[in-house]
Structure 1
Amino acid sequence: MKLLRYGPRGAEKPGLLDSEGRIRDLSGTVADIDPAVLASGLDAIRQLDPATLPLVSGDVRLAEPVGNVGKFLCIGLNYRDHAAESGMAIPTEPILFTKATSAIIGPNDEVLIPPTSRKSDWEVELGVVIGKEARYVPREKALDHVAGLCVVNDLSEREYQLERGGQWDKGKGCDTFGPFGPYLVTLDEVADINALGLWLEINGERMQTGTTADLIFDVPFLVHYVSQFMSLQPGDIISTGTPAGVGMGMKPPRFLEEGDVITLGIDGLGEQRQQVRRSVCGA
């Protein structure tokens, strides 16, 4: 299934994408695509015939596909080529940091770079959404706790992240720096989680091309690993790292500017498109 949420911010409705790429309304079956519905195993939705659901007409906003996310966790330097372009050592254990849930926006919503930002950057990543509580989970059972996958743009302000002291979080959690979606794709629709192509373009120019085959730490290991340090709850997201091609790694470095258009996607999981605008102080 490809689950989604649609509608104006604050008034989103649950939906799914049918086999013909049309949005079907799920609000008669579930109130939202949220932790409670994910924890149910999506049983009520799985029993439906999509053809019996109301079609959604018109041009609607696609929201983030999961509401009320509890934790937004990220893995750093999880592709060797990205570690190399960043001038950092290949990690011997996953580098774990958090992204503020207030950064979350829909896949095509506007990205607002902070008023003082000089080094805002892009990162296409595979996102993993937890469906069942995971605590001290063995690697071989990790995928039993995953509801599905999604596209994430782990936007990053590199000066805040690397030059302003402390942890990475302050450069990762800026408002609008966490677009995800357009869909939550259940694992039964993913042919091979270890062979998904990722790509990102700025103004139509290809910047990133990668594959999850190159992950240093794969999805089952990451779910297992993180669950040793904290419980993972339904609706939590793990963003699994980005391949090479970020602005920081270019010579000279290149960063986002007002008016830029970011497009990105992952095989079978959909695409995102964001227009970049600079925030105004006090706004």
Structure 2
Amino acid sequence: MFRNIYFYGLLVVNTLCLNAQTYDFPSPATSALGLSGASDTTVWSVFTNPSGISTIRRPVTGAGYHNAFGLNALSTQTIFSIFPFPLINVGLAYSRYGDNLFNIQYINVTTARSISPNLKLGCRFEYLMRQIQNDRTLGILVVDAGFRYHALRNTDIAISINNPARQSFSGDFNNQPIPSSLSAACITKISPSLLLTIDILHRSDYAEPVYSFALNARTHKMVELCGAISAKPIRIAVGANIGWNNIEFRFAANHHDQLGMSSTAGIIYSFTKKSHK
């Protein structure tokens, strides 16, 4: 009896987290702000729209930390690297959500390339492992995909789909589904320093689609600020990106209208290619 109560208590806590974010590490550039992540073209797109890493021109490595609603048991940590090659870009990442009693670990391999100047495609293969103390470890393979198309002079359209196969953890006591999602984003460059993003996210565990709106403004050559709002659930978010030489730091915070504040921070290092004389 105690084991059943313990297990279902962990499941409730995990469900709260899954209903507030995607199953992967939330990108501080997009999804941590309440956006779907389809519009992401930063290095953090290794966790969102996989086609985004096709824009990376230098090898990078990074780490991130996400805290959901001020609870350490709902925190996520990650480390990752992206390697651009002549024909394809490859990203490798490891993430861990939870604590010693209950955790889900992710290992993913992301590939992407530019098919043409206007079209970028990407695919992500992710192996998830769920660990519950005194219970056997369960693992599943999830495949995600996405693309980005330059439709007009200053406008891009992006589509991302996560877990289309509707994979789930099948244990001794229950079947825990991993959320599937389909998202679409329209990204318009209003001016050289101002970017507007409008997107929609449909998730299998949400009763209604989530609509999001964001503005990115580059206030300095080293500083970019972002504000976003999404509904439903209603989230108001702010974010900042600060770059100096080869180091870039990102921070995002959003307030969920029912569950409270969540924050995400990440740092990356870009390896400069040596010039040969």
Same-fold status (TM-score > 0.5): no
The structure, 1 or 2, with the larger RCO (C-alpha pairs under 8 Å, 6+ apart) is 1
Higher strand share: 2
TM-score, normalised to structure 2, is: 0.25
